[in-house]
Chain A
Amino acid sequence: MMYLKRLLHRFPGRTIYIMLMIFCFFVAGILNAQQIDILLKGGHVIDPKNKIDEQMDVAITNGKIFQVAKNISPHQAKKLIDVTGLYVTPGIIDMHVHAFNGTDVDAYIANGLTSLPPDAFTFRAGVTTVVDAGSSGWRNFRLFKKQTIDRSQTRVLALLNIVGNGMVGRYEEQDTTDMNPQQTAYMIKKLFPEIIVGIKAAHYWGDFTQVDRAVQAGDLANVPVMVDFGEHQPPNSIEALFMQHLRPGDIFTHTFSYGPAVRETVVDDSGKVKPFVFQAQKRGIIFDVGHGGGAFSWRQAVPAMQQGFQPNVISTDLHAESMNSGMKDMSNVMSKFLNMGMSLQDVVLRSTWNPANVIKRTDLGNLSVGSEADIAVFNLRKGDFGFLDVRKTKLKGTQKLEAELTFRAGKIVWDLNGISAPLWQEELKKK
């Protein structure tokens, strides 16, 4: 009362009336609040980090996950989307793409035409984060950032190539004098720790020099190294790579490629997974799919799956030579694993929470309350489907994932069938 008296004294008449009105509106606002911007209702949520695998509603507010629970009241939401019969997962992370798209017609992947602009491929496949796998090195990363990363709706992270010029061309990639661990680590740790999540070693024709330099840089910057380990004639030992050169947490990509003349395979000639491969995975080596245009064969993947060897991470190796071939897009590669017998839960784990952990970005790949609302909603189509490998042989299948709805930071960036949209006749009536 004392307070009110003092207040009345200071703000006489009309002013106090207005203040009271504002106060009343404020209270009413809180009581009646539609605190939720968008409510996804009735979907089957698969969120491996939080061990959710059942029907749940997901609420989004201010671009963040606000609540994940059963039966959230639609009255609290400004917009309601019915996703009954669909799967709701964290936005998919594609840990292996080439996105340094540019206009140097003579270049290979760095600033060239083989790299692709990410937004053209991501959202339509449920992907919200991509990791560029070493298209750029420390010399041209800034151009990549300015040209693509800063201009994309997709979250673009990167592995920095141990070669300073990145993937300009095969010959440049052999230049050991351009593999500088200090410069590479410096760029990661001091300049772009938010974007660069690891190091890439690839396309090297020599011994272990390139891998060892990459690991050295990885030690300096405290990030993992991804190795594309082929193109040696005769092939270098992958057992030595896994057991002696790489560290737990480092990544072996193109796991199921078959090109035995230049690349040692994980499955031997008699169709058995080599024993050291299981040991390596136990040791902590991360096995990444990296499908690409030439790095995924049924003759490797099917026996491996049958013998209980599953890749830690599913990824595409998206580039111009893989986009229209057997790879196509991330949801297609995920569907391949479904049809080889991997459970949907395992497929989602290996496309969300696993890659988030591998790149040490545990803020991503989950639907924890408060995390950025990157969400994929999938329809699991049933029918007769076929899936091509890079050798143009096919595996028949009965199910296929299709991205119905994709959110990036709470914003709808893909809606295949307009499930978030009103009927057009309703709009006409409003006029």
Chain B
Amino acid sequence: MLSTKLSIAVGTMAGTALFGFLFFLPVAGQGQEYDVLIKNGHVIDPKNNIDTIKDVAIANGKITKIDNDIPATQSKKTIDVTGLYVVPGLIDVHTHVFVGSKADKFADGIYSVSPDDFSFKSGVTTVVDAGTSGWRNFPLFKEQVIDKSQTRVLAFLNIAGSGMSGKPMQEDVNDMNADSTAFVAEKYKDIIVGIKIGHYEGSDRSPFNKALDAGKKLNRPLFVECHLPQYSLEDQLQMMRPGDIITHSYEQVSERMPIVDEHGKVRPFVLMAQKKGVLFDVGHGGAGFWFSQAVPAFQQGLAPNSFGSDLHRFSMNAGMKSMLNIMSKYMAIGMSIEDVVIRATWNPAREIKREDLGNLSEGAVADIAVLSVQKGKFGFIDAGGNRLEGNKKLEAELTIRAGKIVWDLNGLAAQPWKQ
């Protein structure tokens, strides 16, 4: 009995080995140099001026080749994306993701949200936190969220030492220190991309100047939120340097003068600021985006430079929903898909001086979004609860982060199950 079993075992082993060898041979012969091949998609890569059907090959988490008709035999895995758009992983420059358990707080609190809960399902692979933390609590933010997220999380550091920690702490001028802010920003320069000013109700100019000062020391952009009711819009735009970013560009609230006047005209000084090089971010949020501002502004040539969502607890289920939804809004307003993609990828990458991102250059990290354009009757809501109708809507079919599939809406990358 024993010897029979043994011989069966030996036979099985030999068979397995032979099978394994035969299986291995053709594989080795073909040289599958790519891990994943995304085939037949319409690639839009604004940095590299690509806007046509191409194949994208990924190896070791990087973009390895973009070409016409790369053979499927050269890749371990091939995903057919015929009829879909292949774009660089989207970058959302305005989010609040310093999520924690403190009630009624953005910094380390429940008003912030967790990046992975929202990013991949809308094609986003990089988010920039808009000053939820300051130099005092950035290390906690890093430990608690940034290091634990699959999404790439970058940050604007708030000039307020404890970031968006609520009143009165976040408005304490004595806790706004350009040197400490610059020091921490420099220490974490791979993550911190700029300085943020917002949430100050006094008329004292020192907070703005300190933020500018830190930005100058670092040669980094300043990100200007609203909530500065004592500073006029004109003053803010005047103090800003080329490359600095104003967000909530299309809001219509009492705390900041709207960019479009009561006759529906973009104010001349706003257009001048744009000419000077000030960048306009959407910063949709719960209150920051109104069709009554955005539509006339777009028609008069003031399109946003980036589609920052201002993702947080109060925008996630409102008109904002996701950055992809904001992109769809702009398609409904009349922007071409090419113009939408550049504002979601290469523009924000340059805005935050991270030109390694937002493109599909060979050698770049393989952060990729595969999008479908749904056709139908859709509606979009603004912060005022008003609706704009459209007939197209973007949907994230597949999201890849550093070569890894992190979202697959309809199982494009999967094999059918067999009974």
Q: Contact between A423 and B387 (Cβ–Cβ < 8 Å)?
A: yes
Q: Is B19 at the interface (CB under 8 A from chain A)? A: no
Q: Is B106 at the interface (CB under 8 A from chain A)? A: no
Closest to A417 in B: B379
**Shortest distance from the beta carbon of B127 to any chain A beta carbon, whole Å:** 14
Please give, as numbers and ranges, the residues of chain A lying within 8 Å of B120 by CB-CB distance: 324
Q: Contact between B411 and A123 (Cβ–Cβ < 8 Å)?
A: no
**Shortest distance from the beta carbon of A241 to any chain B beta carbon, whole Å:** 27
**Shortest distance from the beta carbon of B150 to any chain A beta carbon, whole Å:** 8
Q: Flag the segment in B108-116, B172-180, B201-209 that touches A.
A: B108-116
When A120-B316, A147-B101, A151-B103 are in contact, do A394 and B386 touch as well, CB less than 8 Å? Answer: no
Set A117, A320, A385, A393: member contacting B110, Cβ < 8 A: A117
Closest to B110 in A: A151
Q: Contact between B386 and A427 (Cβ–Cβ < 8 Å)?
A: yes
Q: Contact between B100 and A103 (Cβ–Cβ < 8 Å)?
A: yes
Q: Contact between B110 and A421 (Cβ–Cβ < 8 Å)?
A: no
Q: Contact between A299 and B292 (Cβ–Cβ < 8 Å)?
A: no
Q: Contact between B386 and A421 (Cβ–Cβ < 8 Å)?
A: yes
Set A116, A147, A418: member contacting B117, Cβ < 8 A: A116
Please give, as numbers and ranges, the residues of chain A lying within 8 Å of B144 by CB-CB distance: 103, 105
Q: Contact between A298 and B417 (Cβ–Cβ < 8 Å)?
A: yes
The proximity string for B residues 115-126 relative to A, scoring 1 for CB distances below 8 Å and 0 otherwise, is 011101100000
When A103-B101, A116-B114 are in contact, do A427 and B416 touch as well, CB less than 8 Å? Answer: no
Bound-state Cα–Cα, A303 to B419, Å: 8
Q: Is A424 at the interface (CB under 8 A from chain B)? A: yes
Q: Is A323 at the interface (CB under 8 A from chain B)? A: yes
Set A123, A271, A421: member contacting B419, Cβ < 8 A: A271
Bound-state Cα–Cα, A417 to B329, Å: 11
Please give, as numbers and ranges, the residues of chain B lying within 8 Å of A299 by CB-CB distance: 417, 419
Q: Is A124 at the interface (CB under 8 A from chain B)? A: yes
Q: Is A16 at the interface (CB under 8 A from chain B)? A: no
Q: Is B267 at the interface (CB under 8 A from chain A)? A: no
Q: Flag the segment in B163-171, B181-189, B402-410 that touches A.
A: B402-410
Q: Is B384 at the interface (CB under 8 A from chain A)? A: yes
Please give, as numbers and ranges, the residues of chain A lying within 8 Å of B382 by CB-CB distance: 424
Please give, as numbers and ranges, the residues of chain A lying within 8 Å of B313 by CB-CB distance: 119
Q: Contact between A424 and B417 (Cβ–Cβ < 8 Å)?
A: no
**Shortest distance from the beta carbon of A113 to any chain B beta carbon, whole Å:** 6
Set A151, A395, A418: member contacting B381, Cβ < 8 A: A418
Q: Is B415 at the interface (CB under 8 A from chain A)? A: yes
Please give, as numbers and ranges, the residues of chain B lying within 8 Å of A385 by CB-CB distance: 410
* 8 Å CB interface, A92-146 against B: 101-103, 105, 111, 113, 116-117, 119-121, 123-124
Interface of A, secondary structure class, is: mixed
The proximity string for A residues 194-224 relative to B, scoring 1 for CB distances below 8 Å and 0 otherwise, is 0000000000000000000000000000000
**Shortest distance from the beta carbon of B329 to any chain A beta carbon, whole Å:** 11
Please give, as numbers and ranges, the residues of chain A lying within 8 Å of B295 by CB-CB distance: 424
Interface size for A (C-beta < 8 A) is 51
Please give, as numbers and ranges, the residues of chain B lying within 8 Å of A324 by CB-CB distance: 116, 120-121, 406-407
Q: Contact between B103 and A421 (Cβ–Cβ < 8 Å)?
A: no
Set B101, B116, B121, B379: member contacting A421, Cβ < 8 A: B379
**Shortest distance from the beta carbon of B49 to any chain A beta carbon, whole Å:** 32
Q: Contact between A395 and B292 (Cβ–Cβ < 8 Å)?
A: no
Q: Contact between B148 and A386 (Cβ–Cβ < 8 Å)?
A: no
Bound-state Cα–Cα, A116 to B113, Å: 10
**Shortest distance from the beta carbon of B99 to any chain A beta carbon, whole Å:** 8
Closest to B393 in A: A417
Please give, as numbers and ranges, the residues of chain A lying within 8 Å of B414 by CB-CB distance: 386, 388, 392-394
Set B116, B118, B379: member contacting A419, Cβ < 8 A: B379
When A324-B406, A424-B387 are in contact, do A386 and B292 touch as well, CB less than 8 Å? Answer: no
When A120-B316, A395-B416, A424-B292 are in contact, do A323 and B117 touch as well, CB less than 8 Å? Answer: yes
Please give, as numbers and ranges, the residues of chain B lying within 8 Å of A415 by CB-CB distance: 381
**Shortest distance from the beta carbon of B89 to any chain A beta carbon, whole Å:** 14
**Shortest distance from the beta carbon of B330 to any chain A beta carbon, whole Å:** 14
Please give, as numbers and ranges, the residues of chain B lying within 8 Å of A116 by CB-CB distance: 114, 117
Q: Is B380 at the interface (CB under 8 A from chain A)? A: yes
When A105-B144, A120-B118, A385-B410 are in contact, do A421 and B416 touch as well, CB less than 8 Å? Answer: no
Q: Is B138 at the interface (CB under 8 A from chain A)? A: no
Q: Is B389 at the interface (CB under 8 A from chain A)? A: yes
Q: Is A302 at the interface (CB under 8 A from chain B)? A: yes
Q: Is A18 at the interface (CB under 8 A from chain B)? A: no
**Shortest distance from the beta carbon of B153 to any chain A beta carbon, whole Å:** 13
Closest to B414 in A: A394
Q: Is A57 at the interface (CB under 8 A from chain B)? A: no
Q: Contact between A427 and B292 (Cβ–Cβ < 8 Å)?
A: yes
Bound-state Cα–Cα, A113 to B407, Å: 19
Q: Is A422 at the interface (CB under 8 A from chain B)? A: yes
Please give, as numbers and ranges, the residues of chain B lying within 8 Å of A120 by CB-CB distance: 113-114, 117-118, 316
Closest to A406 in B: B317
Bound-state Cα–Cα, A4 to B411, Å: 78
* 8 Å CB interface, A315-344 against B: 320, 323-324, 326, 328
Which of A396, A417, A426 has the most C-beta atoms of chain B within 10 angstroms of its own C-beta? Answer: A417
Closest to B290 in A: A424
Please give, as numbers and ranges, the residues of chain A lying within 8 Å of B389 by CB-CB distance: 423
**Shortest distance from the beta carbon of B138 to any chain A beta carbon, whole Å:** 15
Bound-state Cα–Cα, A393 to B414, Å: 5
The proximity string for B residues 222-240 relative to A, scoring 1 for CB distances below 8 Å and 0 otherwise, is 0000000000000000000
Q: Contact between A386 and B410 (Cβ–Cβ < 8 Å)?
A: yes
Please give, as numbers and ranges, the residues of chain A lying within 8 Å of B9 by CB-CB distance: none
Bound-state Cα–Cα, A105 to B148, Å: 8
**Shortest distance from the beta carbon of A117 to any chain B beta carbon, whole Å:** 7
Q: Is B143 at the interface (CB under 8 A from chain A)? A: yes
Please give, as numbers and ranges, the residues of chain A lying within 8 Å of B14 by CB-CB distance: none
**Shortest distance from the beta carbon of B194 to any chain A beta carbon, whole Å:** 26
Measuring CB to CB, which residues of chain B are less than 8 angstroms from any residue of chain A?
99-101, 103, 108, 110, 113-114, 116-118, 120-121, 143-144, 148, 291-292, 295, 313, 316-317, 319, 321, 377-382, 384-389, 406-419
A-B contact pairs, 19 of them (CB 8 A): A103-B108, A117-B113, A299-B419, A320-B116, A326-B411, A388-B408, A391-B417, A392-B411, A393-B416, A394-B410, A394-B417, A413-B317, A416-B321, A418-B388, A421-B387, A422-B387, A424-B291, A424-B386, A424-B387
